[in-house]
Structure 1
């Protein structure tokens, strides 16, 4: 079925076998030299990009590009963050490459631009400066300052820029240059600090943050908690932390100024400390529970899976939390464990906005602070609430909602209203075919597990034997990440052309709580891949598609899932798209953040048992010579500081040398990383590449969007 040109030969790749003995087993690695970053590797990457161009620059890409450029040329809106009388949000206008940061006096009022990355010299195509992007922002509790994370090339190592914010009366009229070049402080290259590892002090005169080294010198796993004061233009290191499996998170009580530090592992739960009188004081330690904390109006709210695999909400006073040596049993229960998964409970005045998920889609409700249910908020069927925020002292909250057939929308809700009290402030203005349908099914996998699968397609797609449709199966399956209904604007032409999009909620995620996660990690990791395979077989058995027209896609840990099912069941799929993937699972722990993931996958070098079960599924080591595999597009990034690009390089080289079928393509992007800070133009290029590959590999019509694409 593939119309990809298989006549071109891939570039030659030098083969230099390195043999290691692990736990008494000899393991050959013929492409280890591709783990480097020297001139030879760069030249090889260039040749691979040229080879990919030869397959992907086709009539299909010419036809799809104008549609994708149109889909990209719409406004995007970020979450609303309330600080006193100010509303912070990000907006990307249709003509902009990057979102700008604005502050408003009213949530729907005229704003003042605080930061505009589009105006930075590095984002001018005529400039020789490196491209830069804004990765995150954090507004001080009093709203007088905002901190912004600025990265070069999307590598997730950030400078911290601190900017003054106009007073509420000046918002909308303040004269600012708007590009963020007038900071009151700049902390350069402080590592992987992000919004979760940054916390403003209660007085707004300083902040705490987690600093790390950079990926280039192998030091991004070294961590230090620091305090910076604006009035002193200087900082103090509170303490350093060298556990490579733990990333600290910071929370400050806006009233008392209490600094709380979370040390969280993928396995082993979260330990909490407070920093009091220059010392760390343990609060919740020696626990396997995953716990997060929010401080509000003298109360510490604890969201935890302690004795509750689907989560519950506990509470105690901030003063009791400050004292330390707290036990869960001392806390009062605000929201008990229920059948649905508690995602978040956001305090707002004397209310709580409670987000739960039932069978991998969202529900939203308003409760009193004591947990009493007041009312449910209406959500569309099969929708996902992507974020919730609230004013601290007012009954006002905001949330983002989306779905397969529903563009993302920002909604405000009056929590005191007797009825709905909601208004949509903004929505992504994209024409969606009005004949799309969304269904949810349950498929049986190993051990009798019932795995949810969402399916989206045009209403006139029949399963009557009139012919299989092209279908894409997407999933993730790991690290407690749930996959839920989401909107993909660049997916619309595929759906309009009769394609079927399916989403599998594979084990390893959090769709049914911690037990669902544990059933797809460590020695149970094969269950994740079994769930992908079961979903693919179900799509074929139900008549949605056939094996020639079924594609599988995923990124990062989801790229591992794609690599595993590709090597285990190459007969099931007509194409595979594998993005920023982990694929050499016997060496993943040696690069970048890999050591911190051994709690999820196991340690192949330190643990003989883990070596055995990882070797069974490691995609790079399970490519069989002479076996026919479907076409594969590997995509990676030169500046990825999470997953090393060598995973994709080595696996593409091995498939090109040993496997039958294909073609096996590798696309490497520069000036970007694991997905952070990409300009609109780069996103369009990536989408054209990906969908051209899938259209041609799966035989999607002639690549021309139908009238239903409108």
Structure 2
């Protein structure tokens, strides 16, 4: 080697070592005593079995003693995090990583092209618009001005067909309850009164005269965030009239349904009504709006399968369905006689799961092939025109547009491919880069691969493992295993700015596509529901065992995470195999399976879970795995950070409160078991950036501290 080059290389190495500083975990942290949580004497009788529920009082989230308990728990948790030596360094790194411009795919409404943009650390993304692609962009709607602390967010927006009118939803503190404001697009002047007490609703304009929306009767005062919301109702609101005079279109006492949605075909001829009592399966109805006073016609009159009208050509309806097709297909039928016996297959079921879209006079069949995207373009007669060439193996989204559009915009991402927007020419099939991500991440330094491991009963389950290239498989890598496994939800590859913290430290991020999800269609989903729910937990536990056996990590370096139904997953896994994991992150989880259906819209989850009221067999099954009831006295559990929020009115915080209280009572050993309770936040949607960064900082700090992992600045 040339002597001068040798000296230069040596100097570079020395400088690099000086620039990098290892911050070690605290050798010990003084954990404040857990709050003394009072115990009540509530006992429930389930089929002759007496089940104590000493922390029932924590279900009253507005009570003074509950609020005092929350404050005491947060004090313990905050004190713990204040002693982690690299917490501030992680926060600064995350803040730097987050601080880049982020764009959504653009969409056209009227004379304008709209898009969302976040300058970097803005709490909420801002909606901009411009005339044409080259016009000067102007702010159309800035949610950061909705509240001083960024906790009021934009929860949905809908434009009238000509783009002249806009309705948007506001969520305060992360609540599912929203308000709806209507404005003129040209000058942004408000029209009429704000609609209130709207929940689980889309917005659909009928011409420029008014819009359809859905809601429930508001629970009584004091229980707005936890009271049962059982009868959904579809209304039509005429502009410039009081909300009290809105027309009930469907639902209510005559046709009680738990979930009802309304939307229009693009030509505004048909109102489409979907109605369901659980999160899977539902009825389908249409109403011809060109005929005044026309009746609502039943397309599907049972709740067995999933269906949606995705388009129409005059009387011809295009319907997505998984009836007699577990992976989904597209059929056509005449609107005059739309029942299933008259359906004609247009795009047949395949071995891959279908999620269709339409645009530019075409049909887009978006398939999941082993949890990754495969997109094909068909003409209206069902003829395959092309398989769309995607930039890599990963997840594509956005294959939908208006009928007259000549192009559309789609986003593509994977665990190592930051979200990137492409413009797609519908006629030629060519994609071109529209907006690249500005995140500080070099994909060439990392790899992501899919493997298949064997679950307890022999089922092959996919697992995608992501890490820095060259990571040594020595069983000593800090690892986070993530899962969901429920409600037909598919976990597809997606980039996470937060995960960079783990990856650049040499850690491993793994995502398991468990049964109960939708990755392989209806059969895969059903294999993780009701009396087969244990399959989901077995799949997750087997994923952990695979990572350990293949030397990616060890039990002392392994953390598990999941939210909502995934929080239940983590709670079940850590109570069934506490020795297998070092760290657990159950977020906004369903932790009391005997009572989940008694809050908000929880009863709608019975399709996946069943309820303790169904029969004795179902009760005993739920009782066996329910995380709150499964905790055992005198057991050493993983270091656990339970997370929830005071405005979560989907999975009410009582689940996490009760689980954390009993966990702290029963747990032995030195691992901390904490609960982090966010204020003015809900189930997750609409969280301000500052809150997200703080939450993610604590997650990584907790993982590194409890796996004995140094943080390299």
Q: 1:399 Cα deviation (Å)?
A: 1.4
Q: 2:449 corresponds to which residue?
A: 439
Q: 1:633 corresponds to which residue?
A: 641
Q: 1:221 corresponds to which residue?
A: 230
User: d(CA) in 2 for partners of 1:534 and 1:124?
Assistant: 43
Give the one of 116, 138, 155 matched to 1:112. 138
Contact 2:193 2:242 in 1 (8 A): no
SS state of the match for residue 190, structure 1? Answer: strand
1:405 pairs with 2:416: yes
Q: 1:654 Cα deviation (Å)?
A: 0.7
Q: 2:3 corresponds to which residue?
A: none
User: d(CA) in 2 for partners of 1:233 and 1:616?
Assistant: 51
1:123-180 residue CA offsets vs partner (Å, 9 max, x unmatched): 258xxxxx421111112221111211012111121110112123xxxxxxxxx6xxx6
Change (3 A) 1:472 1:124: closer
Consecutive unaligned residues in structure 2, runs of 5 or more:
1-24
SS state of the match for residue 605, structure 1? Answer: coil
Give the one of 485, 502, 507 matched to 2:510. 502
Change (3 A) 1:402 1:578: same
1:417-446 residue CA offsets vs partner (Å, 9 max, x unmatched): 1x5243323535332353100110111113
User: d(CA) in 2 for partners of 1:33 and 1:561?
Assistant: 25
1:89 pairs with 2:118: no
Aligned CA-pair RMSD: 2.1
Give the one of 265, 288, 306 matched to 1:290. 306
1:327 pairs with 2:362: no
Change (3 A) 1:227 1:267: closer
Change (3 A) 1:266 1:583: same
Change (3 A) 1:219 1:79: farther
SS state of the match for residue 457, structure 2? Answer: helix
Give the one of 479, 494, 500 matched to 1:486. 494
Which piece of structure 1 moves more, 5-14 or 153-162?
A: 5-14
**Alignment TM-score, normalising by the size of structure 2:** 0.90
1:655-702 residue CA offsets vs partner (Å, 9 max, x unmatched): 11111133110011111100122111111111111111111112222x
Aligned pairs for 1:681-692 (under 5 A) are 681-692=690-701
Q: 1:457 corresponds to which residue?
A: 467
**Alignment TM-score, normalising by the size of structure 1:** 0.91
SS state of the match for residue 362, structure 1? Answer: strand
User: d(CA) in 1 for partners of 2:349 and 2:644?
Assistant: 40
Q: 2:19 corresponds to which residue?
A: none
User: d(CA) in 2 for partners of 1:4 and 1:185?
Assistant: 60
Consecutive unaligned residues in structure 1, runs of 5 or more:
126-130, 167-175, 706-710
Which piece of structure 1 moves more, 549-558 or 222-231?
A: 222-231
Contact 1:497 1:700 in 2 (8 A): no
Give the one of 49, 54, 60 matched to 1:30. 54
User: d(CA) in 2 for partners of 1:287 and 1:35?
Assistant: 32
Give the one of 212, 235, 260 matched to 1:208. 212
Q: 2:21 corresponds to which residue?
A: none
Aligned pairs for 1:166-565 (under 5 A) are 166=186, 182-195=189-202, 198-201=203-206, 203-214=207-218, 216-217=223-224, 218=227, 220-230=229-239, 232=241, 235-241=246-252, 246-266=258-278, 269-275=281-287, 277=293, 279-286=295-302, 288-298=304-314, 299-316=316-333, 320-321=334-335, 323-324=336-337, 326-344=338-356, 346-417=357-428, 419-463=429-473, 465=474, 467-565=475-573
User: d(CA) in 2 for partners of 1:479 and 1:84?
Assistant: 36
User: d(CA) in 1 for partners of 2:464 and 2:134?
Assistant: 34
1:160 pairs with 2:175: no
Q: 1:287 Cα deviation (Å)?
A: 5.6
Q: 1:132 corresponds to which residue?
A: 152
Change (3 A) 1:672 1:7: closer
SS state of the match for residue 651, structure 1? Answer: helix
Number of equivalent positions:
673
User: d(CA) in 2 for partners of 1:4 and 1:603?
Assistant: 43
Q: 1:392 Cα deviation (Å)?
A: 1.9
1:69 pairs with 2:95: yes
Q: 1:128 corresponds to which residue?
A: none
1:13 pairs with 2:37: yes
Q: 1:48 Cα deviation (Å)?
A: 0.4
Give the one of 611, 614, 635 matched to 1:606. 614
Give the one of 606, 625, 628 matched to 1:620. 628
User: d(CA) in 1 for partners of 2:242 and 2:438?
Assistant: 41
Contact 1:269 1:288 in 2 (8 A): yes
Contact 1:499 1:700 in 2 (8 A): no
Give the one of 562, 565, 570 matched to 2:578. 570
User: d(CA) in 1 for partners of 2:28 and 2:137?
Assistant: 49
